[in-house]
Amino acid sequence: MNDFELWLEFEEVDPENWKKENDFCNIHVIMKDGRRYGINVWTYDFLKTIVEYDKKQGDNLNGLYQVPPDLFVKELSRDCIEKTINDLLKIGNLEEVLNSSIVSKDSE
Protein backbone atom coordinates (compact mmCIF):
# COMPACT_ATOMS: atom_id res chain seq x y z
CA MET A 1 0.00 0.00 0.00
CA ASN A 2 1.24 3.47 -0.92
CA ASP A 3 1.59 6.41 1.43
CA PHE A 4 0.23 8.61 -1.36
CA GLU A 5 -2.51 9.00 -3.94
CA LEU A 6 -1.87 9.91 -7.56
CA TRP A 7 -3.88 12.08 -9.91
CA LEU A 8 -2.62 11.59 -13.47
CA GLU A 9 -3.63 14.05 -16.16
CA PHE A 10 -3.50 11.42 -18.90
CA GLU A 11 -6.13 9.34 -17.10
CA GLU A 12 -8.47 12.31 -16.65
CA VAL A 13 -8.12 14.27 -19.89
CA ASP A 14 -8.77 12.32 -23.11
CA PRO A 15 -7.29 9.03 -21.80
CA GLU A 16 -7.36 7.36 -25.22
CA ASN A 17 -5.26 10.07 -26.86
CA TRP A 18 -1.92 9.94 -25.06
CA LYS A 19 1.34 8.76 -26.54
CA LYS A 20 2.55 6.54 -23.72
CA GLU A 21 6.25 6.79 -24.58
CA ASN A 22 6.38 10.21 -26.24
CA ASP A 23 4.34 12.82 -24.39
CA PHE A 24 4.19 14.95 -21.25
CA CYS A 25 1.68 15.43 -18.46
CA ASN A 26 1.04 16.88 -15.04
CA ILE A 27 0.54 14.73 -11.98
CA HIS A 28 -0.49 15.42 -8.42
CA VAL A 29 0.92 13.43 -5.54
CA ILE A 30 -1.16 13.66 -2.37
CA MET A 31 0.62 12.30 0.69
CA LYS A 32 -1.34 10.76 3.55
CA ASP A 33 0.18 13.38 5.88
CA GLY A 34 -1.43 16.17 3.80
CA ARG A 35 1.56 17.28 1.70
CA ARG A 36 0.67 17.86 -1.94
CA TYR A 37 2.93 18.02 -4.98
CA GLY A 38 2.32 19.12 -8.55
CA ILE A 39 4.88 17.56 -10.88
CA ASN A 40 5.45 18.15 -14.59
CA VAL A 41 6.52 14.83 -16.16
CA TRP A 42 8.07 14.17 -19.59
CA THR A 43 9.00 10.90 -21.22
CA TYR A 44 12.57 10.45 -22.45
CA ASP A 45 11.34 10.43 -26.05
CA PHE A 46 9.39 13.65 -25.58
CA LEU A 47 12.64 15.49 -24.86
CA LYS A 48 13.83 14.61 -28.38
CA THR A 49 10.44 15.60 -29.81
CA ILE A 50 10.37 19.03 -28.16
CA VAL A 51 13.94 19.82 -29.24
CA GLU A 52 13.06 19.00 -32.86
CA TYR A 53 9.85 21.04 -32.58
CA ASP A 54 11.78 24.03 -31.23
CA LYS A 55 14.31 23.77 -34.08
CA LYS A 56 11.47 23.97 -36.62
CA GLN A 57 9.56 26.72 -34.77
CA GLY A 58 12.61 28.78 -33.80
CA ASP A 59 11.78 28.54 -30.09
CA ASN A 60 14.38 28.37 -27.31
CA LEU A 61 17.05 29.66 -29.69
CA ASN A 62 16.17 27.02 -32.27
CA GLY A 63 16.32 24.16 -29.78
CA LEU A 64 19.59 25.26 -28.19
CA TYR A 65 18.10 24.72 -24.70
CA GLN A 66 15.09 23.35 -22.88
CA VAL A 67 13.63 24.34 -19.56
CA PRO A 68 13.38 20.86 -18.04
CA PRO A 69 10.35 19.30 -16.42
CA ASP A 70 10.38 18.19 -12.80
CA LEU A 71 10.72 14.51 -13.71
CA PHE A 72 11.59 12.29 -16.69
CA VAL A 73 10.14 8.77 -16.99
CA LYS A 74 10.24 5.98 -19.56
CA GLU A 75 6.48 6.02 -20.15
CA LEU A 76 3.29 7.70 -19.07
CA SER A 77 1.53 4.89 -17.26
CA ARG A 78 0.18 4.58 -13.74
CA ASP A 79 2.50 1.64 -13.10
CA CYS A 80 5.65 3.50 -14.18
CA ILE A 81 4.82 6.69 -12.31
CA GLU A 82 3.69 4.90 -9.16
CA LYS A 83 6.92 2.86 -9.06
CA THR A 84 8.93 6.03 -9.68
CA ILE A 85 7.27 7.98 -6.85
CA ASN A 86 7.63 5.01 -4.48
CA ASP A 87 11.34 4.77 -5.28
CA LEU A 88 11.90 8.52 -4.91
CA LEU A 89 10.19 8.45 -1.50
CA LYS A 90 12.65 5.75 -0.38
CA ILE A 91 15.43 8.27 -1.08
CA GLY A 92 13.75 11.16 0.74
CA ASN A 93 10.93 13.69 0.68
CA LEU A 94 9.96 14.78 -2.81
CA GLU A 95 10.77 18.40 -2.01
CA GLU A 96 14.34 17.29 -1.27
CA VAL A 97 14.75 14.74 -4.07
CA LEU A 98 13.14 16.73 -6.92
CA ASN A 99 13.48 20.40 -7.75
CA SER A 100 11.69 22.81 -5.45
CA SER A 101 9.07 23.88 -8.00
CA ILE A 102 7.07 20.75 -7.14
CA VAL A 103 6.08 22.03 -3.70
CA SER A 104 2.56 23.44 -3.57
CA LYS A 105 2.15 26.69 -1.66
CA ASP A 106 -0.79 25.03 0.13
CA SER A 107 1.56 22.46 1.69
CA GLU A 108 3.71 25.02 3.48
pLDDT, tens digit (0-9, with 9 covering 90-100), for 36-95? 999 999 999 999 999 999 999 999 999 999 999 999 999 999 999 999 999 999 999 998
Cβ atoms within 10 Å, residue 14: 9
Residue type at 98 in one-letter notation: L
Q: Is 25 helix (H, G, I), strand (E, B) or coil?
A: strand
d(CA 67, CA 21): 20
**8 A C-beta contact, residue 37 and residue 103:** yes
User: Does residue 104 surpass a pLDDT of 80?
Assistant: no
pLDDT score for 105: 60
Q: 24-31 and 36-43: which strand pairing?
A: antiparallel
d(CA 31, CA 40): 17
User: Does residue 108 surpass a pLDDT of 60?
Assistant: no
